[in-house]
């Protein structure tokens, strides 16, 4: 039973793992080719902080696809991108975990603090990354790219799923840990605390401009006492 009154939500890329290789982007490109026959690219798209479905939409727009083609193919693209990634992803991402991530998740587990994922990754891609990084066992729920239009919507879904599993209630203190301004905005939109880490592509200065509740170099600096007594 969670006796701390905490609920922890984590982004994946740049927060829990980094430099995971080109496989994710390549899966999106291959999915577009297989489903629509179009050649596309993620080059020139600021994918950091974006949801996979929005990335696919932007790729198709740049490849000249019509709105109807994008709309009618999205379900198939989402399914195909996940299938491609599962076939081609690295055998291990253990050495790609961000500093302090594994230790923090272990501490949360010992304290019986529930932890969930809020990520722009599609569901099977996100869970496979966590599996290959050796982190999946620390998470019992998540909200993924195909479930909402933006990251704030994903946070709402994650909180709802946590409550449905018996983790916390409306009085629980929710924290979202991420490495991008979109994570900070999503936390604020849901009344959650925001923890920004400088392990992604966003600089400390850029993150500071969005006024997170906590701004850390990496997860080694995060003390549970700060979360219990904000």
Which pLDDT value is given to residue 229? Answer: 60
pTM of the predicted structure, to 2 decimals: 0.92
pLDDT computed for residue 13 by the predictor: 95
Q: Is the pLDDT of residue 216 over 90?
A: yes
Segment 79-85 shows an average pLDDT of 97
When pLDDT is averaged across residues 213-230 and rounded to a whole number, the result is: 85
Q: In what order do the strands lie in the sheet with 173-178?
A: 141-143, 115-118, 6-10, 173-178, 193-197, 214-216
Q: What is the pLDDT of residues 93-152, one digit of tens each?
A: 999 999 999 999 999 999 999 999 999 999 999 999 999 999 999 999 999 999 999 999
pLDDT at 1 exceeding the cut of 60: no
Domain segments of the chain as ranges: 6-18+93-228, 23-88
Is the CATH code 1.10.150 the one for domain 23-88? yes
CATH topology for 6-18+93-228 is: Rossmann fold (3.40.50)
Per-residue pLDDT at 2 exceeds 60:
no
149, 74 contact by CB (below 8 A): no
């Amino acid at each position: 039973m969670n006796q701390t009154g905490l609920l922890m939500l984590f982004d994946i890329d740049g927060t829990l793992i980094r430099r995971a290789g080109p496989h994710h982007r390549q899966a999106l490109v291959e999915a577009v080719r297989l489903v629509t026959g179009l050649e596309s690219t993620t080059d020139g798209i600021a994918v950091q902080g974006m949801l996979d479905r929005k990335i696919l939409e932007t790729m198709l727009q740049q490849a000249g696809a019509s709105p109807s083609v994008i709309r009618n193919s999205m379900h198939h693209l989402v399914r195909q991108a996940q299938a491609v990634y599962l076939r081609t992803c690295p055998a291990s991402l253990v050495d790609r975990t961000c500093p302090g991530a594994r230790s923090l998740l272990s501490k949360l587990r010992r304290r019986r603090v529930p932890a969930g994922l809020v990520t722009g990754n599609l569901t099977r891609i996100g869970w496979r990354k966590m599996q290959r990084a050796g982190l999946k066992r620390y998470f019992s729920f998540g909200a993924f790219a195909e479930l909402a239009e933006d990251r704030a919507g994903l946070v709402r879904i994650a909180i709802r799923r946590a409550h449905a599993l018996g983790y916390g209630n409306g009085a629980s203190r929710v924290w979202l840990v991420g490495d991008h301004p979109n994570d900070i905005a999503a936390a604020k939109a849901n009344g959650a605390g925001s923890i920004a880490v400088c392990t992604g592509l966003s600089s400390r200065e850029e993150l500071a401009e969005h006024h997170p509740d906590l701004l850390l170099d990496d997860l080694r600096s995060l003390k549970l006492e700060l979360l219990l007594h904000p």
